[in-house]
Amino acid sequence: MDDKLVTLAIRTYQRAQMIKNVLEENGIETVIHNLNLEQPEMAVGVRVRIKESDLPRALKIVEEMESAWEKQNETEVSTVKQVLIPIDFSDQIAKVTDFGFHFAEVLAAEVVFLHVYFSPAFTISSNNEMSTYSISDSELLRRIISSANADVENMTNLINKRIEKGELPDIPFSFELKEGVPEDQILDFCKKNTPDLVVMGTHGRKVTNELIGSVTAEVMESCMSPVFAVPVQMTLESPDEIKRVAFLTNFDQKDLIAIDRAISLLGTDNLEMFFIHTSQKNEPWDEVMLAGIKAYFANHYPNLTTNYGLIKAVDSPEILDNYLANQNINVLAFNTKRRNIFARLFSQGLVYKMVMHSDTPLFVTHV
């Protein structure tokens, strides 16, 4: 094996320096590349490079270090309630902000905007060998971070003006910038901070040919925090217009908890809740179960108007979407089980199908 240098990891300067120190203590020669030599602490996403012959041993050491860091972070979780709003500074951001701030007020939480940027550090050539970009990665990274910081400053000013005008509730908000893959960083934030709600935008029917799925679908299928998806083409102009909500139930006992969460978030004043179930054929017991759920929540929430319906379809987002349109449903809510990456790759779950085919906002929980 040639002793050429290979990239072991891409980390912040502080993390990279810690990895370098530990590796060298174990006799592994380590080099950090792409530093801002005048202000190394300002560099983001620097490379930790080692000899290829040291790779197996180095990987084990780094894995143990990062496992320890993750356990440490789990003990430092904030107790402050949070609503997380992942953003990409697109035109859709106004609607996502409106809904995020509204729900943050309902939950008595603060808002955290998370922007994830991608800084290319290497490419894989056709013969599977690593090759670096010819342009200066550090200069490219500075441009990306500078642009993101400018967007954050502009958005901060805009939100403050909207709060002053009374267009948004006056609640604390902050921004976090992370380098990496959006869905990975969003899920990592949720794992470490357990926000009370994640509010995300989605393209709905506009997207027709993505290989694995949108970032929103990936997060909704894996995140333990509840997620509210805001389609770009939805007809709702504000959260105050949410009047009719459908909850899709499979008669799982945990659905009762998920329904209660949806009602608590969306409110009971002037809210009409539809309990719906899909099946291939009409079963008398299904209607009995739906009637029972309707009666249960009607008794517990006297201000809530309740209905139920059966849909003869199991695997058709179009039929479900048509039902929502015919009933003028504003939000579809349901409880879903987390699925691993292989399940998501080889079979599209309901979350993915509805994100890709519907312009109805979704509220998804994992109970």
Q: How does DSSP assign 213-241, residue by residue?
A: --HHHHHHHH-SS-EEEEETT-S--SGGG
Confidence bin at 103 (pLDDT 50/70/90): very high
- Residue at 5: amino acid letter: L
State whether 161 and 269 are in the same domain. no
The runs of H, that is alpha helices, within the chain are 13-25, 55-74, 93-107, 137-164, 182-193, 215-222, 255-266, 284-300, 317-326, 341-346, 350-357
Whole domain around residue 328: which residue ranges?
239-365
State whether 58 and 88 are in the same domain. no
Calpha distance 188→196 (Å, rounded): 15
State whether 251 and 354 are in the same domain. yes
pLDDT at 78: 55
Q: Looking at 10-19, 92-101, 117-126, 151-160, which range is the least confident one?
A: 117-126
Per-residue pLDDT at 122 exceeds 70: no
State whether 93 and 217 are in the same domain. yes
pLDDT at 207: 41
Give me the CATH number covering residue 37. Answer: 3.30.70
Tell me the β-bridge partners of 114: 86, 176
pLDDT in tens, 256-269: 889 999 998 988 77
Q: Give the pLDDT mean for 196-201.
A: 94
Q: Are 180 and 319 in contact (CB under 8 A)?
A: no
Per-residue pLDDT at 123 exceeds 50: no
Query: Cβ atoms within 10 A of the Cβ of 7, count?
Result: 14
pLDDT at 74: 57
pLDDT at 213: 43
State whether 307 and 267 are in the same domain. yes
Q: Which of 74, 92, 112 is the last residue of a domain?
A: 74
Q: Are 229 and 361 in contact (CB under 8 A)?
A: yes
Q: Give the pLDDT mean for 103-121.
A: 86
Give me the CATH number covering residue 248. Answer: 3.40.50.620
State whether 134 and 215 are in the same domain. yes
Domain count, the chain: 3
pLDDT at 210: 43
Per-residue pLDDT at 43 exceeds 70: no
State whether 44 and 128 are in the same domain. no
Q: Which of 74, 104, 127 is the last residue of a domain?
A: 74
Average pLDDT, the chain: 79
Per-residue pLDDT at 129 exceeds 60: no
Tell me the β-bridge partners of 111: 83, 173
Helix (H) or strand (E) holding 82: strand 82-87
Per-residue pLDDT at 243 exceeds 70: yes
Confidence bin at 120 (pLDDT 50/70/90): low
pLDDT at 73: 60
Calpha distance 247→265 (Å, rounded): 13
Cα 200–309–235 angle (5° rounding)?
35
Write the CA distances from 342 to 137, 339, 346, integer angstroms: 33, 8, 6
- Closest C-alpha among 151, 123, 125, 120 to residue 138: 120
Query: Cβ atoms within 10 A of the Cβ of 37, count?
Result: 7
Q: Which of 215, 231, 247 is the last residue of a domain?
A: 231
Confidence bin at 345 (pLDDT 50/70/90): very low
Calpha distance 285→295 (Å, rounded): 15
pLDDT at 45: 56
State whether 161 and 262 are in the same domain. no
Tell me, what DSSP letter sits at residue 179? E
Q: Looking at 143-147, 287-291, 340-344, which range is the least confident one?
A: 340-344
More confident residue, 10 or 211: 10
pTM above 0.85, yes or no: no
State whether 296 and 359 are in the same domain. yes
pLDDT at 355: 77
| CA-based end-to-end distance of the chain | 50
Q: Looking at 36-45, 163-172, 199-208, 235-244, which range is the least confident one?
A: 36-45
Per-residue pLDDT at 234 exceeds 60: yes
State whether 43 and 146 are in the same domain. no
State whether 212 and 275 are in the same domain. no
Q: Give the pLDDT mean for 5-33.
A: 83
pLDDT in tens, 275-286: 998 887 777 888
State whether 92 and 47 are in the same domain. no
Say what the alpha-carbon torsion angle 288, 294, 295, 296 is, to the nearest 10 degrees: 110
The three-state secondary structure class of 41 is: helix
